[in-house]
Amino acid sequence: MRNKVIAGNWKMNHSPIDTRNFFERFNGLVADSNNEIILCVPYIDVAAALESTHNTNVKIGTQNLNHEVSGALTGDVSVKMLEDIGIKYSIIGHSERRQFHHETDDFVNLKIKAAFDHDIIPILCVGETLYERELGIAREKIIIQIRKDLEDLPANYARQIIIAYEPIWAIGTGKTASKEDANEACKLIRDEIKKMYGTEIADEIRILYGGSVKPTNAVELFDMPDIDGGLVGGASLEPDSFAKIVNFDK
């Protein structure tokens, strides 16, 4: 039985003060949850978030990392810096980084390997654009991303990865993939993992759905057999709304 993961992605929202206020309310609302709860916050909020969630069941992640340990990379934060302050999760390859920061699959692949080397679990994002969906090449796009992003990743790392299927047309648009379509894409990813790593690892990996997840649609999505939880943007910004999603099974 795979444990559900409910991860939030705050994107470029909330200050450290907002962060402390958020967790003051949120921690108590989810204290009884058996689901794995991760909040991926902006770098500037990491210290406040780690402090506010100390000794709770809420884990903190980042939204990106640089795969180099150190160097002349102005404005970047290294995987080693994150490891040193106790970060255990990071989103990698989010479509907004691929689109606005021109991150390629080769780059995503380097980041995934570096994350594991530094004891950080990547939450890898994949998914098709509306144009690719309309052209009928969504499946091919997803398979290519999985193959390239996980290229040469050892099995002991692969079994721990969290993958989020996020159709780009559903992100921040209020349009959610139907539960059947979302499940089909998550199953496609699982089948590809099976081809690459075998049944045992494919059965173990958590595959999430992301794209306009809200308290009103979380239950139907997360009850699908191949959807192991969600990566939530807008609805993770308010403690009550995100707690309702985390507590979808209550």
The CB-nearest residue to ligand 13P is 233
Per DSSP, which regions of the chain are E strands? 5-9, 36-40, 58-62, 89-92, 121-126, 162-165, 206-210, 229-232
The one-letter amino acid at 222: F
By C-beta, is 48 or 124 nearer to ligand 13P?
124
Whether residue 67 lies in the annotated active site: no
Active-site position among 14, 94, 96, 118? 94
Question: How far apart are alpha carbons 185 and 177 in whole angstroms?
Answer: 10
| Smallest gap from residue 235 Cβ to ligand 13P (A) | 6
DSSP letter at 225 equals: T
State the minimum distance, in angstroms, from the CB of residue 213 to ligand 13P. 5
Choice among 96, 103, 166, 192 that is catalytic: 166
Q: Which is nearer to ligand 13P, 42 or 233 (CB)?
A: 233
Label residue 232 exposed, middle or buried (CB < 10 Å: 0-12, 13-18, 19+). Answer: buried
Q: How far is the CB of 234 from ligand 13P (least distance, A)?
A: 3
Say which residue the tokens 């996980």 belong to.
Answer: 150
Interface residues with ligand 13P (CB under 6 A)? 9, 94, 166, 171-172, 210-213, 231-235
| Min dist. Cβ of residue 242 to ligand 13P (A) | 11
Contact in structure between 209 and 165 (CB atoms under 8 Å): yes
Q: Which is nearer to ligand 13P, 197 or 230 (CB)?
A: 230
- Whether the CB-CB separation of 116 and 101 falls below 8 Å is answered with no
In the complex with ligand 13P, which residue's Cβ is closer, 31 or 219?
A: 219
**Is 180 considered catalytic here?**
no
The residues that are catalytic are 94, 166
